[in-house]
Amino acid sequence: MNNEKLQVTLDAGVKRITFNNPQRRNAVDFEMFEAFAAAVEEAAHDESRVVVITGAGDFFCAGLDMKSIDPAGLASMDVAARIRELINPPVIGLRTLPKPVVARVHGPAAGIGFSYVLASDVVVASQEATFSQSFVRVGLMPDGGATHLLPALVGRAKAFELMATGDTLTAQDALRLGLVSRVVPRADLDSVCDEVISRLAAAPQPSLARIKAALSLSEQQSLAAALDFEAEGQGECFRSADFVEGVTAFMQKRAPQFGKGGKGFE
């Protein structure tokens, strides 16, 4: 199952899901959200033994494709419902999938792209990779389970700092914080990833499934609750004047002026 902006292949037990929108820095639009959700759901039942998530070109995934948003359409859209439909299921799916998920991160992972990294089991990053909870830059809150997954890895204080500032982490920063499994030179990324993928594909699948289940035993209910809370909160953010300003500033390539009043998408 392929769509032009999301490439999905299955070969020798390895399912590769590639964000393929390099001209938009692999930013995700609603069509890609739908395709990604379908690919993750399919992985639960197909012959894959390992799932690999990566991006084409120089970026892993730059988050939501702001240019794909129709302001007029947002006014009538139930954003919370769309998030519950398109964003939340694949995140739960990645965490509960009875097979390992490897994120191959060769460039920037921002917004929902960072959330997909957090939902993976093994993260191999090149030295050029960066990570950012960039939602706040356009007046949004994190989604994709980030409000649950990130503090579990780095602690509440650091998670709040990263989410509230939208600051960018280098690959070495991410390694120090325990967000990635290893960092390698870009020239070695594919060979290292292939080695990791081969070992996981050759491992006893019942063992890997039970390891994942054991590690996630206390997580499932709290992650589901966090995803639902994010959906409601993100819906409010999308309707705010600050989001309107954030989108406008992004399109005009200027710094946003939040808190200046104005009307949201009511």
3-state secondary structure the chain: CCECCEEEEEECCEEEEEECCHHHCCCECHHHHHHHHHHHHHHCCCCCCEEEEEECCCCCECCECHHHCCHHHHHHCCHHHHHHHHHHHHHHHHHHCCCCEEEEECCEEECHHHHHHHCCCEEEEECCCEEECHHHHHCCCCCCCHHHHHHHHHCHHHHHHHHHHCCEEEHHHHHHHCCCCEEECHHHHHHHHHHHHHHHHHCCHHHHHHHHHHHCCCCHHHHHHHHHHHHHHHHHHHCCHHHHHHHHHHHHCCCCCCCCCCCCCC
Give the per-residue pLDDT at 250.
Answer: 87
Structure token digits, residue 206: 């019942």
User: Tell me, what's the pLDDT at 109?
Assistant: 98
Please, are residues 43 and 51 in contact by the beta-carbon 8 Å criterion?
yes
- Looking at residue 91, its pLDDT comes to 97
Please tell me the pTM assigned to this model.
Answer: 0.92
Of 114, 128, 132, 118, the residue nearest 183 (C-alpha): 128
Query: Superfamily for 6-252?
Result: 2-enoyl-CoA Hydratase; Chain A, domain 1 (3.90.226.10)
Task: Say if CB 197 and CB 143 are below 8 A apart.
Answer: no
Q: Where are the domains of the chain?
A: 6-252
**Residue 71: predicted pLDDT:** 64
**pLDDT tens column, 118-146:** 999 999 999 999 999 999 999 999 999 99
Q: Give me the pLDDT at residue 219, please.
A: 87
For the chain, residues with pLDDT lower than 70 are: 1-2, 71-72, 74-75, 261-266
